[in-house]
């Protein structure tokens, strides 16, 4: 007698091997049997005839650190079949931070993470991970956030992390890895991370390498003069070479400006030959999303949120910020779609150029005005390319990236505001359904391996990523012919179809396409 038997489905087990007709028996939080269970019984029987039965999907890059605690049902993730999310991305997270630094960095990050959750202990990876135990719909893994590490050891300041500061940072990393972090993440176009140099990253990655963890990086395009090889991919590979750490490239893909240049992108990350263990993730959309406070010049971040606000208020300082914004991001900014302005929700979904016109201001002035009004709490995303051909090429490229055996899927979801980038609702069914069927580059078994066993192995998520006896019962039942994303750039908050059941640790979290409200997520591994 099993707790649950999933009968009549085709098991796509996560390994990439051929799918096969089999029933799945679940006892407690584990898969207890896979095979012909027609003579067995279950307290609950789920009919999966005509359906695929696969491991739960693992999102390797997502900004749900706060959203999972403030909206624990997390429909946008779990309804896609996501059962595990890896947090701490781009180094933009809350741990390790003292209570005072949590207050400061929590405020700074509101444009991407939303309001920081109250009543959590961010002082250690152990205590922080506990906040998610049984408190959210999905499992969570954590990457030590470089931003937090730097704030904790160097303050919100452009100073080198050396001597005592470095020793303390290394100790925090070592402790964090012992307490279950799966690696360390940085985003070198964000602050305070961008005040680092390459040697700092190498040094804080040493304890990650010793613990077998992964260095996850959003590549540097700020303060490139202090980086090996001018930042970007060469710096990341140098970190791998010198520290021995595994290197994982976040949202590594093509976009409108380099559509079709897949081979060039591959050559870059393969430049270290076998010397560095590399992997990467991507989402299948032609444009990205971020928080515009991060687009201010490097010096403007010194001192943190209070100091940034003072600079925005000071007319002379503000002139410099406006000039910087207009010089560095005029073209993308005019078409940027504002997704999150909690004090001006009626502007969510509007294009920045139109808002500037209605305010009678230039683009940079309008953005500074809004940053002040919102106390920095703004997110936006880029409009897709005008050319359908370019868009199609980027979609086609995404298949070549995912065809690499060392690639996986990171949605880069930003779960704030009423008009989010559609990747927050559609990434996984878009890859597994729409793009697989349209381009026929990957088999179903391959796509599923990339979103299950592949990330589980890379990030050391023991007992996850396969439908196999003894593995945790994170299971998705979906219709391989019908699964598809429905979220679009003009109507982003739409859940996918073709995914009737999602189980997390043996609990039925999505039942006939509906949320059950069960919060079965655990900190993993």
Interface positions with Zn ion (CB under 5 A): 89-90, 412
CB of 181 to Zn ion, least distance (A): 17
CB of 259 to Zn ion, least distance (A): 21
- Our CB check for Zn ion shows the closer of 179 and 290 to be 290
- Our CB check for Zn ion shows the closer of 85 and 412 to be 412
CB of 61 to Zn ion, least distance (A): 6
Question: How is residue 337 written in tokens?
Answer: 């779609």
Which helix (H) or strand (E) segment is 357 a member of?
helix 352-359
- Our CB check for Zn ion shows the closer of 414 and 473 to be 414
- Our CB check for Zn ion shows the closer of 13 and 412 to be 412
CB contact at 8 A, 309 and 375: yes
CB of 471 to Zn ion, least distance (A): 28
Give the alpha-carbon dihedral of 20, 23, 27, 32, to 10 degrees: -40
CB of 413 to Zn ion, least distance (A): 9
Count of positions (residues) in the chain: 525
Rounded distance, CA 63 to CA 416, Å? 10
Please report the DSSP string for 70-132 in residue order. HSTT-HHHHTTTEEEEEESGGG-S--S--HHHHHHHHHHTHHHH-SPPSS---SSHHHHHHTT
For residue 65, give every residue at least 6 positions away whose Cβ sits within 8 Å of its Cβ, in sequence order, or none: 87, 88, 93, 94, 113
Rounded distance, CA 93 to CA 411, Å? 17
CB of 268 to Zn ion, least distance (A): 19
- Our CB check for Zn ion shows the closer of 412 and 474 to be 412
- Our CB check for Zn ion shows the closer of 233 and 519 to be 233
- Our CB check for Zn ion shows the closer of 217 and 452 to be 217
Three-state DSSP class for residue 455: helix
- Our CB check for Zn ion shows the closer of 280 and 500 to be 280
The residue whose two tokens read 């090429």 is: 393
Rounded distance, CA 425 to CA 411, Å? 9
CB of 410 to Zn ion, least distance (A): 8
CB of 329 to Zn ion, least distance (A): 17
- Our CB check for Zn ion shows the closer of 89 and 217 to be 89
Using CB atoms within 10 Å of the CB of residue 116, give its burial: 0 to 12 exposed, 13 to 18 middle, 19+ buried: buried
Three-state DSSP class for residue 472: strand
Name the phi and psi angles at 513, rounded to 5.
80, 0
- Our CB check for Zn ion shows the closer of 90 and 400 to be 90
Question: How is residue 286 written in tokens?
Answer: 């032609």
CB contact at 8 A, 132 and 85: no
CB of 95 to Zn ion, least distance (A): 17
- Our CB check for Zn ion shows the closer of 219 and 518 to be 219
The residue whose two tokens read 């300041």 is: 157
CB of 66 to Zn ion, least distance (A): 14
Please report the DSSP string for 167-190 in residue order. HHHHHHHHHHHHTT--EEEEETTS
CB of 138 to Zn ion, least distance (A): 17
Three-state DSSP class for residue 331: helix
Rounded distance, CA 387 to CA 326, Å? 25
């Amino acid at each position: 007698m099993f707790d649950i038997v999933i009968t009549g489905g085709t098991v796509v087990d996560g390994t990439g091997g051929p799918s096969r007709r089999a029933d799945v028996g679940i006892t407690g939080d584990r898969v207890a049997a896979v095979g012909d269970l027609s003579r067995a019984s279950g307290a609950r029987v789920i009919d999966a005839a005509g359906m695929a039965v696969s491991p739960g999907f693992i999102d390797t890059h997502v900004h749900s650190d706060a959203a999972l605690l403030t909206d624990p049902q997390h429909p946008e993730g779990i309804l896609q079949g996501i059962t595990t999310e890896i947090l701490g991305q781009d180094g933009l997270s809350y741990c390790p931070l003292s209570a005072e630094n949590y207050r400061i960095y929590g405020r700074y990050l509101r444009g991407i993470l939303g309001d920081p959750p109250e009543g959590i202990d961010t002082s250690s990876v152990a205590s922080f991970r506990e906040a998610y135990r049984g408190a959210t719909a999905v499992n969570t893994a954590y990457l030590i956030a470089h931003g937090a590490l730097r704030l904790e050891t160097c303050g919100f300041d452009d100073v080198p992390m050396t001597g005592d500061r470095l020793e303390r940072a290394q100790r925090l990393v070592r402790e964090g890895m012992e307490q279950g972090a799966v690696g360390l993440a940085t985003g070198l176009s964000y602050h305070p991370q961008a005040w680092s140099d390459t040697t700092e990253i190498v040094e804080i990655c040493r304890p990650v390498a010793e613990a077998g963890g992964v260095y996850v990086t959003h590549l540097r395009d700020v303060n490139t003069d202090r980086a090996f090889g001018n930042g970007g991919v060469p710096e990341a590979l140098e970190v791998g070479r010198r520290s021995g750490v595994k290197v994982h490239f976040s949202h590594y893909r093509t976009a409108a400006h380099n559509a079709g240049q897949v081979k060039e992108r591959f050559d870059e990350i393969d430049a270290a030959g076998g010397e560095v263990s590399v992997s990467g993730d991507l989402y299948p959309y032609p444009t990205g999303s971020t928080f515009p406070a991060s687009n201010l010049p490097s010096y403007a971040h010194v001192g943190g949120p209070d100091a940034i606000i003072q600079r925005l208020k000071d007319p002379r300082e503000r002139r410099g910020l406006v000039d910087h914004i207009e010089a560095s991001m005029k073209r993308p900014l005019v078409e940027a779609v504002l997704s999150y302005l909690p004090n001006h929700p009626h502007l969510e979904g509007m294009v920045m150029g139109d808002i500037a016109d209605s305010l009678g201001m230039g683009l940079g002035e309008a953005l500074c005005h809004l940053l002040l009004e919102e106390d920095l709490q703004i997110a936006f995303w880029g409009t897709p390319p005008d050319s359908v051909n370019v868009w199609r090429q980027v979609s086609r490229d995404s298949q070549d990236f995912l065809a690499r055996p060392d690639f996986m899927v990171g949605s880069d979801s930003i779960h704030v505001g009423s008009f989010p980038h559609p990747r927050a609702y559609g990434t996984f069914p878009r890859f597994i359904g729409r793009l697989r069927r349209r381009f026929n580059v990957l088999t179903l078994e391959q796509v599923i391996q990339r979103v299950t066993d592949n990330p589980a192995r890379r990030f050391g998520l023991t007992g996850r990523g396969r439908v196999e006896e003894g593995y945790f019962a994170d299971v998705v039942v979906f219709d391989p012919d019908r699964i598809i994303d429905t979220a679009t750039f003009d109507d982003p908050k739409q859940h996918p179809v073709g995914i009737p059941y999602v189980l997390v640790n043996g609990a039925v979290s999505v039942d006939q396409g509906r949320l059950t409200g069960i919060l079965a997520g655990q900190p993993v591994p």
